[in-house]
Amino acid sequence: MVEKSINLLETIKKEKNNDLIVFTTFVFDPIFFDGYILRKLKQNNPNSIIIVLMDSKIYSTIENEFTSETGKEYALIPVDGNLFHSKIFLFKSKSKSKVLIGSHNLTLSGITQNLELSFDSDNEQLASDSLEYIASLLRKNLDSKNPWYKRLEPFLKNTKNSILITNEKDSILDQTLNLVKNQTKRVNEIIVFSPYFSKVELIIKKLLDLNPKEIKICVQKNNHNLDTINLKNFTSVSLNEVTPNNLRRLHSKFIVFRSSGKDLILMGSPNFTSPALLETSTIGNYETALLLEEDYELFSKNFKITSITEKDVKNSKRPDKITSVHFQRPQIMINFAYFDDFGRLNIEYKSKIRADVNLFSENEKTNTSISIESGKQTIQVLSVPITVNKIWISKDNKIISNRVRVCSPKVMKIRTGLVLEDSKSVQKVLSEVVSLEDIENILLNVFPQPNERISDYSQSHPDIPIPMPGKHTSHNANQGRFNILSRLISNSSPRNKSSSPPEEGKTGIKHPQQTKEPDESIFDLIKKFTKRFEKEVILKTTITKRYSIYLVIALKLIKKIKTGEIIGKTSESVISGLNSMIVKDTSFSNFSITEKMEILYLLITLANEVEHNLRMPYKFDHKAILLKYKPLILNYLEKENPLESLFQELKQPEKYGFDEIDKNLLKEFLQQEFLQHPILDRLEICKKKIYALEYETNVDKINLGYPTLHLFLSKDAELRNRITPEIRKLKDEQNREAISKILSEYSNS
Amino acid sequence: MQGSLLWTEKISLGKIRDPLQLAVFRYTEEYFISGIITQTERLRYYTFLTWAWTQIKEGHSDLEKKEIRDLEKILTLASAMHHMEGLPQPNGIRSMKAGMEYLKNHQKIELDKFKNFGKRNEQGWGNYYYRGSIKNLGILWYENNSIKISPSAKEISDIFSIHLKNYQNNLWKKTLSKSDLKNISSICCCNISKQEQNFWLNIFFGLTRIGKNGLETDPNKKLLIKNPDELSFEQFQVSEDQIDESAFDEGLTNFTETKTNSTRKELRTGSLLMILKIIKESMPTIKRTSLLQIIRDSIYYSQFQTNNSIKSIQFGMLEQYRRYWEVYVHNQYYVNVFESTLSIITKICQEYPLGIEIDYLHKRKVDDDKYLKFINKLGFSATKNDSIGVLFAQLENILKKKKTSLSNPLNEHKILRLLIVSQSDSEELAMILVLLLLCKYRFSFFDDKQLRMLSYKHDKFASVYPENVYNEIDSIKIIEFPKWIFKFIIKRHRHVSAKKLLNSGTKAWLFTEEGNELFFNKEYVFKPYCDVKWINVLEILHDLGLVEKNISKKLWILTKEGEKWLKNQ
């Protein structure tokens, strides 16, 4: 119903906690978007990625309006091909959707001044349709491995478009006319409003298929380009003026199909032009629309329609633009450029040629030779500094591509939105850690930095070489990010706002790419991380799940190591770090069982890495850890089947992407825990188990009981000695024999 | 389908002040003459509010903070009563006319019924003064929800209590008789005692020291001016986003005299003496526009014009202050370049409510030939193909590498005048270019010390930092200048309005842009110069007894006391 109105600015501002925000727009206003909307979106949707798809011709004309954030802090993608005119604002999270489909561009005028029509919906089907459409645009323009596309993929449901009308396969008008025919018996009147017209006679001919009595063509004076010459032959066409209630520029576009008892309104991006309504996007524009059943009487309350003469139309025509956009599609169309996790510049392009060309960048003034293949391609360039702002390609001193902003890798997720006081937030963020960038983002939260962003950091330290990947191997390429992480971790003066770079001598950091193999660099990095974490974080009781943060980050970094031996060595050092942290932490005993179980799970995962990679059985001998877990594990030791009970319990915590734990290692942990108890207590526990087996006939219990005795006795010689006299007292012969057998099994060990 | 088809709302505009965010160029006022604000012209408010707050602090009254407004009403009504019978009305008393009207119609004075006391004055202006000027002077301030008073506040409070004799209680009443009001007529601003004047002279001219409990007057201190070259301008390094015009006007910028930072005190002393010197030499008319122009010219050119003759001023020791203020006057002209352009843009835009193409702005309004003709009429020989750099070289030749002066017909004052009176867009744009070049030319004479006045942290996007603009224009063709400046101003305003929305929620766009078209919202009326604070300075100096208005000759002149203070520096 068009009774109420929508404040687009407030609506966008109110959107919170989305995971994905996409805008499609013809015209884009970077000054307003970056200066206001982006900041609000970031503030309210810290985990969201933001994508803006816009017309490529307009992109090329607004370059001088780009702020330092344009296309860097979000993905700004010029859509290749014909005029890109779709206007969808989509906000998506796992639990909800919001879509605004209309005539509004992503500009200050579109959002605050013009009189636009917007369909505001949280309909899942419409959101799904919109997402499918956006995904299809991305597929056409980007590589299937593009990380932004990848972030969109989980939301795709592969359903057919059923509500949103796009012109990917059929023209908007053909689809609309079919829908109208299906939904109404007879159309009496068609009312058209648009600020832009072209080949009107062709569109009218199609509309006449519905046999309306009248087609009202409406214009707003001084805001249209309607040419009436070809309309003279249509007797059922009348010319009208639309006057909004308050003088505003009508930028909305609509076609109303009125029939008895039902009014249908086509609204959205298409103007009353041939490329918008009659063509598919292969030849015409890219358009999106909706056909809605609405009450026309309510709809038309915001304006008045009065009949006008042909002369009035002619006299009120908008003058032709003096500056038309001269955009010739370049030989190479760069669709998107971004730095990946490893600091490599990825350029996704479509090329008409295959050639050796030069890649230029604006702020860094670099000039790199690259080879371009024809077709839709992606190239990775290793030697471009991550501070590069804008790139383009030239051949023989002639620019042969469009110029695009390079998206920064860190801003893909903007910031993690990690709320260190909120265990759910920590768990969510940790469970989503995949890349080094994710780790970086978490560390930025955990260790306050003098500078917000690493890119700023490197910009403010021109004397420190910008971490650059090596040219040929992915190992070396990793170094860039590790180096950043290393600096991040090593900055041990969080309150020091000065921007002086970390001094090598003081921090002991060497730039790893210059001196060490990558795996060793990670080993060093984790050691530093452990040190700083222990010093600055672990005793901060306000930070929830701090042990999980430490262990998950360490494990994720360990997963980047390729050499088995170093994996084992590093994992061992992380366990030692944990032990050292736990020693000091008096608050550990207050942790919930769930949290302790989570830490134990991560500990055993690490132990598995040691055992597996160093190829030797792991022994839990870190006293502090064993001591802190003693009370909790005692409960399990007293259970009928301690190992199985604990194993089942350890299936519960968040896994953070790691595998299930090795039961043998858990057994080893239980045995070491058991040994922490005084001999008399151990004896007591063991005796209880033995006597419980006297005359036991339940096979299940028998099957559980003896393995548990194995668990207690196999590593405990003292207990074996003490338990021997007790066996003699047993009355159940079978029980006595079974236990004696166990003891004899370990008598020589 | 679930959802609503809705028309979009037009977002209404908020208060638009400083639409290009150029207030930073006025920052000199705040830094060099702190404590004097554009919201008051009368010294009595300083005394009266300090006294009132001190009384409240010391428990002589249980008046609530917001009720300070009642005291202000009494000040107005008592002053009105004092001037009811023939005496000329004093300026600078809030709602004086309304006060007189109220007295005519009421025998019994009930403060709650005297409502015509400023539409937006809900808390009392005193809540601004103590926050602003009185705080900046280090006299009285608000901290951790309580009033803090310095020994100097106590001193002036005691002086004023004596001045009020035994009628102090009348000031705390809610209902008064007319005779009660008559008894306190001494609170009117025309009754400033010598002691009160001396106290404030000490404060404004820095004859103070910072004691254990804050600022106190120092009877042993002698009037001395410090060379500003030796003073720190660290606090000038503010971000342009931090500078808010209204904060200046109400003295809300956060500065207080401290032991370690007495720069502002020194700068104020020097600046007040400089203005005394200008008054002494020029004896300017009391007519506001002429008065301000004489002050401006005296500072900028060390010259002023009266009765068609140009006279020079030798500033002597005060020259070191004039040099700094010269940068401020440069800024005035510089700001006018942008604000006059903005005004032209909104004027053109208004003619096209449904949008005008940005490139059409200048094509529609500027005739290249006429535009060049207007430039060349000023002594240039520019052609269509020349760049602005070439024009600047011609300017240097015309001015023979000497500073602009009133004696030379090609000066900022004259060009701005031509710009204001112009009826043609081509001429306006020509004058804007020449004015910008004159600013650039004058800027080249500033030394590093002077340029500390422009050491603010500038926003790099659509930067109006003079050096950037001056460098950028050189390569632009003269005939491309209108297009360039239109685009530059549009970009700047768009950026500033986005920042205002983000920082304060103010919707302040005079126009919006979409697809290279501009859509009108509100006209911006260009008002040249923003140096009106000199009027407030002169009025305060008048209450301090240093200057006076010669009513018969309609001139500002120095008093004997003023001569004495000027001589003693």
Average pLDDT of A674-694?
A: 91
pLDDT band at A398 (very low <50, low <70, confident <90, very high): very high
What pTM was computed for the model?
0.76
A594 backbone dihedrals φ, ψ, rounded to 5°:
-60, -45
Q: Got the DSSP string for A130-167?
A: HHHHHHHHHHHHS-TT-HHHHHHGGG---PPP-S-EE-
ipTM over cut 0.85: yes
Is the pLDDT assigned to residue A510 strictly greater than 70?
Answer: no
Using an 8 Å Cβ cutoff, are B210 and B1 in contact?
no
- The span from the CA of B344 to the CA of B342, in Å, is 5
Contacts of B10 in chain A (CB under 8 A): 112-113, 115, 246, 248
For A358, the token pair is 């030069």
User: Which residue in B91, B97, B102, B94 sits closest to B49, CA to CA?
Assistant: B94
Query: Could you say which residues of chain B have pLDDT below 70?
Result: 60-66, 128-130, 244-261
- Interface A-B: count of C-beta contacts within 8 A: 155
pLDDT value, residue A467 = 30
Is the pLDDT assigned to residue A61 strictly greater than 50?
Answer: yes
- The span from the CA of A465 to the CA of A515, in Å, is 14
**Nearest chain B Cα distance for residue A109, angstroms:** 5
pLDDT value, residue B94 = 85
pLDDT value, residue A342 = 63
- Return mean pLDDT, chain A: 85
Give the list of residues 6+ apart from residue A71 with CB closer than 8 angstroms, or none. A404, A405, A406, A407
pLDDT value, residue A652 = 79
pLDDT value, residue B42 = 92
Is the pLDDT assigned to residue A207 strictly greater than 80?
Answer: yes
- Using one digit for the tens of pLDDT, what is the confidence trace for A241-299? 999 988 889 999 999 999 988 999 999 999 999 999 999 999 999 999 999 999 999 89
Q: B240: burial class by Cβ within 10 Å (0-12, 13-18, 19+)? A: buried
Contacts of B491 in chain A (CB under 8 A): 31, 64-65
- Using one digit for the tens of pLDDT, what is the confidence trace for A175-196? 999 999 999 989 999 999 999 9
- The span from the CA of B51 to the CA of B36, in Å, is 18
**Nearest chain B Cα distance for residue A425, angstroms:** 27
Average pLDDT of A313-321?
A: 88
- The span from the CA of A167 to the CA of B556, in Å, is 77
pLDDT value, residue A172 = 98
pLDDT value, residue A448 = 60
pLDDT value, residue B4 = 94
- Using one digit for the tens of pLDDT, what is the confidence trace for A572-607? 999 999 999 998 888 888 888 889 999 999 999 999
Give the list of residues 6+ apart from residue A42 with CB closer than 8 angstroms, or none. A50, A73, A414, A415
Helix (H, G, I), strand (E, B) or coil at B289: helix
Average pLDDT of A622-639?
A: 92
pLDDT band at A416 (very low <50, low <70, confident <90, very high): very low
pLDDT value, residue B147 = 84
- Using one digit for the tens of pLDDT, what is the confidence trace for A492-508? 433 333 333 333 333 33
- The span from the CA of A357 to the CA of A375, in Å, is 15
User: Which residue in B498, B31, B14, B459 sits closest to B232, CA to CA?
Assistant: B31
pLDDT band at A477 (very low <50, low <70, confident <90, very high): very low
pLDDT value, residue A472 = 25
Is the pLDDT assigned to residue A469 strictly greater than 50?
Answer: no
pLDDT band at A453 (very low <50, low <70, confident <90, very high): very low
Q: Which residue in A112, A220, A301 has the most chain B C-beta atoms within 10 A of its own C-beta, making it the best mutation to test that interface?
A: A112
Q: Which residue in A26, A32, A389 has the most chain B C-beta atoms within 10 A of its own C-beta, making it the best mutation to test that interface?
A: A32
Q: Per the CB < 8 Å rule, is A116 touching B516?
A: no
- Using one digit for the tens of pLDDT, what is the confidence trace for A81-125? 899 999 999 999 989 999 999 999 999 999 999 999 999 999 999
Q: Per the CB < 8 Å rule, is B6 touching A118?
A: yes
pLDDT value, residue A100 = 98
Average pLDDT of A395-411?
A: 87
Place of tokens 């004075």: B109
Contacts of B461 in chain A (CB under 8 A): 31, 67-68
Q: What is the DSSP code (8-state) at residue A2?
A: -
* A112, A126, A318: residue with CB nearest B11: A112
Is the pLDDT assigned to residue A308 strictly greater than 60?
Answer: yes
Using an 8 Å Cβ cutoff, are B439 and B330 in contact?
yes
- The span from the CA of B233 to the CA of B251, in Å, is 19
pLDDT value, residue A414 = 36
A586 backbone dihedrals φ, ψ, rounded to 5°:
-75, -15
Highest mean pLDDT among A7-21, A143-157, A362-376, B226-240: A7-21
Instruction: Mark out chain B residues that contact chain A at CB-CB < 8 A.
Output: 1-11, 352-355, 357, 359-360, 363, 460-461, 491, 494-495, 497-499, 501-502, 507, 509, 512-516, 519, 521
Place of tokens 């087996």: A693
Residue B160: C-alpha distances to residues A210, A334, A385, B447 (Å):
90, 76, 69, 46
Q: For B495, name the nearest residue in chain A, comparing CA atoms only.
A: A31
- The span from the CA of A102 to the CA of A254, in Å, is 10
Q: What is the DSSP code (8-state) at residue A589?
A: G
Q: For B5, name the nearest residue in chain A, comparing CA atoms only.
A: A119
The residue among A470 and A236 whose pLDDT is bigger is: A236
